[in-house]
C-alpha cells in the first residue's frame, strides 16, 4: 500500500508541475504580447511626434526658433543660432518644387530624423535628434523586462497553486479508491471472523448442527450483500439508496445472535436489552445498519477481556427518536482521544488495537448518512459506550 501511495504521490506531483509550467508559459506569453503591443504603440506615438515637430519647424522657417532637439538648415542660415552639433550631410536629390524626403542618419554618434524639402529651388532640411526618444524606448524595454521577470515568478507561484486546486479532485478520487479497498477489507473481516468461529465450532463438535449451518448461510448472505453495497458505493455518480422502514431491534437481535458464539468462545457476556413499549422503526438501509451493529460489536469484543460483558440496549429517549447503545466493560479509551476516535487508520494502544480504526470511521459515515448522530464516552480501564440516535420512521 505504501508503494502505491508513493507512486500516486509522485504522479500527482508531476501533474502539478506540468500544469504549473503550462500556466506560467501561458501567462508569460500574454505579458510578452502585451509588452510588444506597448512598444509598438510607443514607436507609433514617437513617429507622430517627430512628424509634427518637423512639419512645424519647416512651416515656421527661420523666423521662429524650433522646439528643442530640432534644427532647421536653409541656404540663408540655420536656427537655433550657434554651431551645429553635427556635421551636415549631403542632401538627397529633391529636383521638383514641393518634393519631400525623410530619412534617418547617424551623425557624429547620434541618430537624427532628417526631412528635406524643395522650396522654389532651395533645399531646406529639418533635423530631429532622437536622443530622448531612444532613452524612452530603452526605459520601456527595461521596465518590460523587469515586469516579465516579476510576472514569471508570480505565474509560477500562482500556476502551482492553481494546479494544486485543479488536481485536488484527482487526488480525492485516488484517496477514495484507496479508502474503498481499505473499507472492503475491514468490512469483510467481521463476517469472515464469525464464519471462521462457527466453522471451528462445527469441527470441534464433529457434526453439522442445523442452527450453525443456518448461521453460516446467513453469514455468507451478509457477505454477498456487503460486497454488493461496496461495489455500488464505488460507482461514480451512483444514486443514493432508497430508505425503507427498518426494525432496529430486530437487526440488533440478529447481530447479537451472530456474535454470540464468538462472545461465548471469549467468555464475554453479550446481551440485548429493550425498554418496554419500544418504538424501533427507523428509515434506513438494512444492510448498512447491519454493518454498523456488526462493527460496534466487533469493536467491543476486541476490547473486552474474558469475564467482561457487553450490553446492547434500545430505548426511546423522546417521542421522535430511537437510541441504541453498545456498552462494554473493556479497555476503554482516554477522554482526550474522543475527537479522533472516528478518524480513519488511527489506532489505540489498548485491547486488540482496533478501538481506533477504520470500522468506527465507517460507522460514523453510515450513521451520519442516515441523518443520525453517534457519541462515544469512556475512560481507560472502565469500558466504553457508543450511543447512536436515529429519527423514528
Answer whether 305's CB lies under 8 Å from 328's CB: no
Q: What pLDDT is recorded for position 312?
A: 95
The SS3 of residue 81 is coil
Answer whether 84's CB lies under 8 Å from 78's CB: yes
Please, what is the angle between helix 131-205 and helix 248-265, to 10°?
70
Compute the C-alpha angle 383/387/391, nearest 5°.
170
Q: What are phi and psi of 311, to 5 degrees?
A: -120, 125
Answer whether 310's CB lies under 8 Å from 293's CB: no
Domains of the chain from N-terminus onward: 240-391 (3.30.565.10)
Model confidence over 119-156: pLDDT tens digits?
988 999 999 999 999 999 999 999 998 988 888 888 88
DSSP at 145: H
Ranges of residues in the chain with a pLDDT under 70 are 1-8, 178, 180-190, 192, 196, 199-200, 202-241, 344-359
State how far the Cα of 204 lies from the Cα of 342, in Å rounded to an integer. Answer: 38
* Radius of gyration of the CA atoms of the chain, in A: 44
| CA neighbor of 309 nearest in space, from 215, 201, 385 | 385
What number of other Cβ atoms are within 10 A of residue 345's Cβ? 10
State how far the Cα of 194 lies from the Cα of 200, in Å rounded to an integer. Answer: 10
Q: What pLDDT is recorded for position 345?
A: 54
Q: What pLDDT is recorded for position 302?
A: 85
Amino acid at each position: 500500500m505504501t508503494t502505491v501511495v508513493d507512486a500516486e504521490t509522485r504522479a500527482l506531483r508531476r501533474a502539478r508541475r506540468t500544469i504549473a509550467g503550462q500556466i506560467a508559459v501561458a501567462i508569460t506569453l500574454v505579458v510578452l504580447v502585451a509588452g510588444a503591443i506597448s512598444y509598438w504603440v510607443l514607436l507609433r506615438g514617437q513617429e507622430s511626434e517627430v512628424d509634427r515637430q518637423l512639419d512645424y519647424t519647416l512651416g515656421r522657417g527661420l523666423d521662429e526658433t524650433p522646439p528643442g532637439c530640432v534644427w532647421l538648415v536653409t541656404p540663408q542660415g540655420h536656427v537655433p543660432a550657434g554651431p551645429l552639433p553635427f556635421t551636415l550631410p549631403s542632401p538627397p536629390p529633391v529636383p521638383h518644387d514641393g518634393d519631400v524626403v525623410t530619412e534617418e542618419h547617424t551623425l557624429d554618434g547620434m541618430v537624427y530624423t532628417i526631412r528635406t524639402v524643395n522650396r522654389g529651388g532651395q533645399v531646406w532640411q529639418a533635423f530631429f535628434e532622437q536622443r530622448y526618444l531612444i532613452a524612452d524606448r530603452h526605459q520601456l524595454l527595461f521596465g518590460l523586462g523587469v515586469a516579465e521577470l516579476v510576472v514569471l515568478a508570480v505565474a509560477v507561484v500562482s500556476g502551482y497553486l492553481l494546479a494544486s486546486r485543479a488536481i485536488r479532485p484527482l487526488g480525492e478520487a485516488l484517496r477514495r479508491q484507496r479508502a474503498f479497498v481499505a473499507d472492503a477489507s475491514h468490512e469483510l473481516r467481521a463476517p469472515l471472523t464469525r464464519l471462521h468461529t462457527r466453522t471451528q465450532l462445527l469441527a470441534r463438535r464433529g457434526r453439522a448442527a442445523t442452527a450453525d449451518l443456518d448461521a453460516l448461510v446467513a453469514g455468507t448472505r451478509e457477505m454477498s450483500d456487503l460486497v454488493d453495497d461496496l461495489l455500488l458505493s464505488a460507482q461514480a455518480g451512483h444514486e443514493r439508496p432508497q430508505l425503507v422502514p427498518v426494525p432496529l431491534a430486530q437487526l440488533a437481535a440478529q447481530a447479537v445472535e451472530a456474535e454470540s458464539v464468538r462472545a461465548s468462545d471469549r467468555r464475554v457476556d453479550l446481551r440485548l436489552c429493550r425498554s418496554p413499549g419500544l418504538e424501533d422503526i427507523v428509515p434506513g438501509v438494512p444492510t448498512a445498519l447491519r454493518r454498523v451493529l456488526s462493527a460496534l460489536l466487533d469493536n467491543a469484543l476486541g476490547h473486552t477481556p474474558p469475564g467482561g460483558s457487553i450490553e446492547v440496549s434500545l430505548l426511546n429517549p423522546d417521542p421522535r427518536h430511537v437510541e441504541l447503545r453498545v456498552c462494554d466493560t473493556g479497555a476503554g479509551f482516554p477522554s482526550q482521544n474522543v475527537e479522533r476516535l472516528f478518524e480513519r487508520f488511527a489506532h489505540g494502544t489498548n485491547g486488540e488495537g482496533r478501538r481506533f480504526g477504520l470500522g468506527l470511521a465507517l460507522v460514523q459515515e453510515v450513521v451520519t448518512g442516515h441523518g443520525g448522530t453517534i457519541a462515544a464516552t469512556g475512560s481507560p480501564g472502565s469500558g466504553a459506550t457508543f450511543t447512536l440516535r436515529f429519527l423514528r420512521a
